[in-house]
């Protein structure tokens, strides 16, 4: 046994069987709603006892990959992992990795300008109105830490909403997920206290200008506005992060 394999955590038998079932599903290109073999058939196919198969199926069900139905016509069927569930699982993973503001913005600075450019001139009136409705939630600077927190959350919702308009599902997922974890980071590290009027004023101006560029189909302007927005937001958020850290140390 090599040192690397010795350090690698041993995976339980049900976990290995769950992975084998997933591989089997992918190989056969099964789709949502397709029925899986019965428990007896799975036992025979994978050469495992009933208890192991049942535990493997519970793992897959917890992941949202299968659905179990009872009664006539019941059984196990291919499920669908929703975007929200996938983001929740990933958020749990990154929660223990001590992400920083810089980590998140390293990706935001690359992806979000391209997202904005790709959507210029392609959004419907309803989609543009939806973005304007988000901006309308923060018409003036926050007066309290609680208002600042709500404004941060709403401002990040603007970016998630924009991402969801993308026709590229991977780009939409990644940008939306970054908005989610930055929201979580802002809330549990209290990066909204004290209120930051400069972040508010510049963020509002960038988002307003961006909507105009998207409406007019000005792709290069949309890219430049979003890039400046990300660079400014990163600098101000890092300043806020440092201020919170200093306050924590002082306490």
State which CATH number among 3.40.50.720, 1.20.1250.20, 1.20.120.530, 1.10.520.20 fits the domain covering 84-250: 1.20.120.530
Q: What is the mean pLDDT of residues 69-78?
A: 85
Q: How far is residue 108's CA from residue 234's CA, in Å, rounded to a whole number?
A: 9
Element (H, E) at 191: none
Per-residue pLDDT at 4 exceeds 60: no
Answer yes or no: CATH 1.10.10.10 is held by domain 3-78: yes
Element (H, E) at 66: strand 66-69
What's the confidence (pLDDT) of residue 247?
47
Per-residue pLDDT band at 127 (split at 50, 70, 90): very high
Q: Which two tokens stand for residue 119?
A: 């959507």
Q: Which two tokens stand for residue 48?
A: 């495992």
Supply the angle between the helices 50-62 and 39-46 in degrees, to the nearest 10: 110
What's the confidence (pLDDT) of residue 9?
56
Compute the C-alpha angle 11/15/18, nearest 5°: 150
The model carries a pTM of 0.69
Per-residue pLDDT at 118 exceeds 90: yes
Q: What is the mean pLDDT of residues 192-217?
A: 89
84-250 and 3-78 share a CATH fold: no
> Which sequence spans correspond to the domains of the chain?
3-78, 84-250
Per-residue pLDDT at 249 exceeds 50: no
Per-residue pLDDT at 29 exceeds 90: no
What's the confidence (pLDDT) of residue 1?
44
Mean pLDDT of the chain: 85
Q: What is the mean pLDDT of residues 106-119?
A: 96
């Amino acid at each position: 046994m090599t040192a690397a394999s010795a350090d690698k955590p041993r995976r339980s038998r049900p976990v290995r069987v769950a992975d084998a079932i997933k591989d089997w599903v992918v190989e056969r290109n099964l789709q949502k709603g397709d029925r899986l073999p019965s428990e007896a058939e799975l036992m025979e196919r994978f050469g495992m006892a009933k208890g192991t198969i049942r535990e493997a199926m519970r793992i897959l069900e917890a992941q949202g990959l299968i659905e179990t139905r009872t009664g006539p016509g019941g059984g196990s069927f291919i499920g669908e992992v929703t975007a929200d569930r996938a983001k929740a699982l990933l958020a749990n993973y990154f929660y223990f990795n001590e992400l920083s503001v810089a980590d998140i913005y390293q990706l935001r600075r690359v992806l979000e300008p391209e997202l904005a450019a790709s959507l210029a001139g392609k959004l419907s009136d309803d989609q543009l109105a939806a973005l304007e409705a988000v901006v309308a939630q923060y018409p003036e600077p926050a007066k309290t830490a609680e208002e600042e927190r709500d404004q941060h959350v709403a401002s990040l919702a603007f970016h998630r909403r924009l991402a969801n308009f993308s026709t590229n599902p991977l780009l939409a997922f990644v940008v939306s997920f970054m908005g989610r974890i930055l929201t979580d980071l802002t809330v549990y590290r209290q990066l909204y206290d004290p209120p930051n009027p400069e972040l508010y004023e510049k963020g509002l101006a960038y988002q307003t200008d961006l909507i105009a560029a998207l409406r007019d189909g000005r792709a290069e302007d949309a890219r430049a506005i979003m890039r400046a927005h990300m660079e400014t937001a990163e600098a101000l958020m890092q300043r806020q992060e440092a201020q919170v850290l200093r306050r924590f140390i002082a306490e």
